[in-house]
Amino acid sequence: MNENIKKLLKIIFFFFCMFLIINGQRTVGKVELLTQLIGLAGLLFLLWNYNRKFV
């Protein structure tokens, strides 16, 4: 896969995870908390994927 396409997919995934976190914060409930946790897991995955090449 082309490096530019990978970067673009990572950026789109980042904004999607941020959307999940911000959208889940608007109201209180179990579903919204789960939405926030999925978004946080996505951000942690991106951070792991970035740091993987430096270990």
Residue 27 has a pLDDT of 87
pLDDT digit string, tens, across residues 14-55: 999 999 999 999 988 999 999 999 999 999 999 999 999 888
3-class DSSP assignment, residue 29 = coil
pTM of this structure:
0.88
Residues 6+ apart with CB under 8 A from 29: none
Contact call for residues 22 and 51 (beta carbons, < 8 A):
no
Picking from 2, 9, 3, 4, the residue whose alpha carbon sits closest to that of residue 45 is: 9
pLDDT band at 1 (very low <50, low <70, confident <90, very high): confident
Q: Is 26 helix (H, G, I), strand (E, B) or coil?
A: coil
